[in-house]
Chains A and B, each alone.
Chain A
């Protein structure tokens, strides 16, 4: 059987591939869509992905909901974000060290409605989480609030 002869080079390749995949899964994701209703999409690097339950989110993703849509996200630091219909939410920057809880979370609600329950990043350092609207900046000391941006 040919494939039984796996040389050291291919073995190295397979090992690094496996390691690479697992570390990518651990570090690229910043959160996950846990709830989705109606029309939900995610803009990522020029592509439009369907915003399905289970989709892993990455920094710079932009979530959009339609007239009948709503979406709920749990971030890696346990921040909960949920947007109502006709909303645009940009997850601009997310950095989180799970050991120290140090991090940075900046997002922008460009349109629509959003409810927020802040998580470990805001709890660790009160300056580390901001939510912007087109005209205002919200410093999040904790914990639960809602924001609307009118059209």
Chain B
């Protein structure tokens, strides 16, 4: 065989093997609802394929992952049933307190009505109440304080008729401020309680 013929044979064989690679599945990255950066890294055998753009996709095959560009239409064709079964995303409400008291502001009372409207939309609702503090003090102080704030709101929800086993109260301390501040800064907007209905 001439070297050209050999080269052609090798290329043809490689193409044949690629064509014969059994497809085992696929992964498609979807666009973000809120426009934030997103990524999934697909690892198969020793090969990594990072997916970083909307509809970036990889076919999983017996010869490793093969990157390709998928589309909204293809996703609908293959994943309509899975996507239709997606639970309603958690909805979040934020309550603020009258300074120095366990008393909601007038706006916060209206927000609690919104919480109950959201609960009514869901077949098996559960509620997570998350307390936050500002950055004054250590975790040892702020973790229990944020939990106490959440417990006050949980008690208010229970008083309005939510079942005890449907509401949990947790404290995030100072880990998730709305307004970024230095340590030790008092900031009213960070002293809050979030209610997630899911």
Interface residues of chain A, those whose CB is within 8 Å of chain B, are 25-26, 32-37, 53-54, 70-74, 78, 80, 82-85, 87, 98-101, 112-115, 117, 133-150
One of A82, A87, A142, A150 near B39 (C-beta < 8 A): A142
Q: How far is the CB of A20 from chain B (nearest CB, A)?
A: 14
B36, CB-defined interface residue at 8 Å: yes
Q: 27 A-B Cβ contacts within 8 A?
A: A35-B87, A54-B123, A70-B81, A70-B82, A73-B87, A82-B85, A82-B87, A84-B80, A84-B82, A98-B128, A99-B171, A101-B172, A115-B85, A137-B44, A138-B42, A139-B43, A141-B40, A142-B36, A142-B38, A142-B39, A143-B36, A144-B29, A144-B31, A147-B25, A148-B25, A148-B79, A150-B23
- Total residues of chain B contacting the partner, CB 8 A: 54
One of A70, A98, A133, A136 near B85 (C-beta < 8 A): A70
- Chain A neighbourhood of B196, CB < 8 A: 78
CA gap between A139 and B1 in the complex, in Å: 47
- Chain A neighbourhood of B134, CB < 8 A: none
One of B37, B62, B90 near A74 (C-beta < 8 A): B90
Residue of chain A at shortest CB distance from B28: A146
One of B44, B82, B122, B175 near A146 (C-beta < 8 A): B82
| Mask: chain B, 52-89; 1 = CB below 8 Å from A; 0 = not | 00000000101001000000000100111111111111
B26, CB-defined interface residue at 8 Å: yes
A139 and B85 contact, CB distance less than 8 A: no
- A-B CB pair tally, cutoff 8 Å: 155
Task: Say what secondary structure dominates the interface of chain A.
Answer: strand
- Chain A neighbourhood of B23, CB < 8 A: 150
B195, CB-defined interface residue at 8 Å: no
- Chain A neighbourhood of B80, CB < 8 A: 84
B151, CB-defined interface residue at 8 Å: no
CA gap between A35 and B41 in the complex, in Å: 28
B79 and A146 contact, CB distance less than 8 A: yes
Q: How far is the CB of A142 from chain B (nearest CB, A)?
A: 5
Q: How far is the CB of B155 from chain A (nearest CB, A)?
A: 15
A144 and B33 contact, CB distance less than 8 A: yes
Residue of chain B at shortest CB distance from A113: B82
A35 and B43 contact, CB distance less than 8 A: no
CA gap between A25 and B60 in the complex, in Å: 39
B24 and A115 contact, CB distance less than 8 A: no
One of A74, A87, A146 near B87 (C-beta < 8 A): A74
A136 and B86 contact, CB distance less than 8 A: no
A34 and B123 contact, Cβ closer than 8 Å, known pairs A80-B89, A137-B43, A150-B23: yes
A115 and B25 contact, Cβ closer than 8 Å, known pairs A34-B124, A146-B79: no
Task: Enumerate the 4 nearest inter-chain pairs by beta-carbon distance, A residue then B residue, closest first.
Answer: A84-B81, A34-B87, A84-B82, A70-B85
Q: How far is the CB of B115 from chain A (nearest CB, A)?
A: 17
